[in-house]
Amino acid sequence: MGFLESSERVMERWTTNLWGFLLPAKHEQGEAVAMLLRQCDDNALIVGRQRVVAPNAFIIELLPEIHQQLSASAWPVAPVLANQVRRHAAERRYTFAGPVAVDLRPAPNDTTRRFRIHSRITPAEVQPLPMGSRTTR
């Protein structure tokens, strides 16, 4: 039983440290979350008098070993990060052109950064109308 307990403590510490890198305590933003929200602010577009559209598609390139650890984790990270973006956008009164998506990918091997974030505004996919349906104006 001692081996299982110590293994469980090691895994808990490892997971806590990894989550702390991405999402630390409530009052303190993690480096990755801060950069994600900065991408949202820096790339927001004013499209009308009261409408600001923020990026809704984010790609986070992580070092391969960090990406592998997060992929093996039982807790999904991408939905938590997407919720952080949605909450930030609501506070700033941003709108999105489509659903918010965060994709975690391994970075190319030539990078020395722990992570890199790319963002873009991606419109929602428009579903085609069924055959024989009409639109009215």
Q: Scan for tokens 């709108």, then name that residue.
A: 95
Tell me the C-alpha distance between 97 and 109, whole Å.
33
* pLDDT digits 0-9 by tens, 46-102: 998 889 999 999 999 988 888 888 888 778 888 999 999 999 999 999 999 999 999
Q: Is pLDDT above 80 for 5?
A: no
101: part of which helix (H) or strand (E)? strand 101-106
The Cα angle at residue 61 between residues 77 and 99, in degrees rounded to 5? 55
Give the global pTM: 0.68
Of the pLDDT bands very low, low, confident and very high (cuts 50, 70, 90), residue 114 is confident
